[in-house]
Amino acid sequence: MLVYLLCLLLFSIGIYCILRKRNIIKIIVGVIISEYAVNMFFVLVAYRMEGRSPVFSPESQIENMVDALPQAVVLTAIVIGLATTALLIALAMRIYDKYGTFDITKIRELRG
């Protein structure tokens, strides 16, 4: 139970970071943290108590394996997260070029 709560805590920290921080880099870090929390939660969902890795061989008995599908799926989710993060950082760099600051309260030309 504790691990799930810690996972939720991690997710909340990430969302807090996105909502409350003023620095663009910290917002990106918040996105990364909450992404990891979701990925970790997906792997936790698939875990079985005392489970072993889901590798099949003729000698071993099929019992108590962890669920293999979420692990494959999470890999994909991590790659997507990588693409998003790379793009966010590229945008942050270009914003710094144009505005000379990472502070989002100073980057406010669009409103209304």
Partner 1 sequence: MILQSTSLPLFVVLPLAGAFLVSIAGKKIKAFPDLMGSLTTFCVLVLSLVAVRTVNVSGVLVSSIGAWKPPIGIAMVLDGLTAFMLVTVNLVAFAIAVFAIDYMEKFTSKWKFYTLFLLMLAGMNGVVISGDIFNMFVFLEIASVASYALVAFGTERQELEAAFKYAVMSTVGSLFILLAIVFLYSYTSSLNMADIAGVLLEKGTGNIVLMISVLFIMGFGLKAALVPFHAWLPDAHPSAPAPISAMLSGVLIKSLGVYALVRIFFSIIGLTPEISSILMSLGVLSMVIGVCLAIGQWDFKRLLAYHSISQIGYVVLGIGLGTPLGILGGLFHLLNHSLFKSLLFLNSGAVEYSTGTRDLKKMGGLAKRMPFTSGTCLTASMSIAGIPPFNGFWSKLIIILAAVQAGRYGFAFWAVLASLLTLASFMKVMKYAFFGQLRERWSQIKEVPMLMRLSMAFLALLCVLGGLLCLPQFNQIFLEQAANVLSEGTEYASIILQRISQ
Give 97: exposed, middle or buried? Use CB within 10 Å, 0-12, 13-18, 19+.
exposed
Separation CA 107–CA 24 (nearest Å): 10
Separation CA 23–CA 102 (nearest Å): 5
CB 27 within 8 A of CB 13: no
**Among positions 13, 23, 71, 84, the unique one binding partner 1 when judged by CB under 8 A:** 84
Binding mask 1-30 for partner 1 (x = CB under 8 A): --------------x--x-----x--x---
Stretch that binds partner 1, among 38-46, 49-57, 58-66 (CB under 8 A): 38-46
The CB-of-104 to partner 1 minimum distance in angstroms stands at 8
The size of the interface with partner 1 (CB under 8 A), counted in residues, is 33
- Please report, as residue ranges, which positions from 59 to 78 form the binding site for partner 1 (by CB under 8 A): 67, 69-70, 73, 76-77
What is the 8-class DSSP label of residue 65? B
